[in-house]
Amino acid sequence: MRIDILTILPELLESPFKYSIIKRAAKKGLAEIVIHNIRDFSTDKHKKVDDYSFSKGAGMVMAIQPIEAAINHLKSQREYDEIIYTTPDGVQFNQQEANGLSLKKNLIILCGHYKGVDQRVRDHFITKEYSIGDYVLTGGELAAAVIADSVVRLIPGVLSDETSALTDSFQDHLLSPPVYTRPADYKGWKVPDILLSGNEKKIDEWKHLQSVERTKKLRPDLYKKFSEGG
């Protein structure tokens, strides 16, 4: 998979992709993340990428020209499955969306900024608009990093234990069960006996029950989906 990220703040995205799983995915040739500075595509003599809004008091808006040039440049090199825009007024991103995107080959993510992007960009280029939550970030870069991370780790071969992505929280609308490591008794705080029993079947049953109970208590919205089988 290849993900091209268009941003006016490339520095903000350098470190998230330099480390951990994403770096391993790049090394194995399973995922390539390429960051582009939108400013490089501006035809303005000062390399401007924004301008005043036509509606009074609405702040600066990201202009269409450099974004169109960047997208067309990329599209001339390969076909893209989705062109994503990160924005607080997008559809809420979740595990199901990540699963869908992990099956794609080439993605573009456009990071929003200021008061948003000229609506014509959204109308004519963008195929998916995502929010990562009901709060406003200073820019869409962190949202793009969240989306790219959650998608790349699902590509087969990226995680060393193939099954671990399948047992993540949210995959079946359930939160993960609690986990423990040694020591089994830390200052009197004990690991549940069942986990020390060696009975795999009973342990699996316990883990499932814990997941269900946790979800019911902490995320009634997810629990509803789980109990409806959705």
User: Which residues make up the interface to ligand ADE (CB under 6 A)?
Assistant: 86-88, 112, 131-133, 135-137, 140, 143
**Minimum CB distance to ligand ADE smaller for 151 or for 158:** 151
Q: DSSP characters for 160-216?
A: SSTTTTTTSTTTTS-PPPP---S-SEETTEEPPHHHHS--HHHHHHHHHHHHHHHHH
Give least dist CB 214 to ligand ADE, A.
25
**Which residue has the CB atom at the shortest distance from ligand ADE?**
143
Distance of alpha carbon 15 from alpha carbon 27, whole angstroms? 16
**Minimum CB distance to ligand ADE smaller for 66 or for 112:** 112
**Minimum CB distance to ligand ADE smaller for 135 or for 189:** 135
Give least dist CB 115 to ligand ADE, A.
11
Residues 6+ apart with CB under 8 A from 4: 34, 36, 74, 80, 106, 107, 108, 109
Nearest C-alpha neighbor of 132 from the set 122, 111, 147: 147
Give least dist CB 173 to ligand ADE, A.
22
Distance of alpha carbon 169 from alpha carbon 208, whole angstroms? 12
Give least dist CB 33 to ligand ADE, A.
18
**Minimum CB distance to ligand ADE smaller for 111 or for 222:** 111
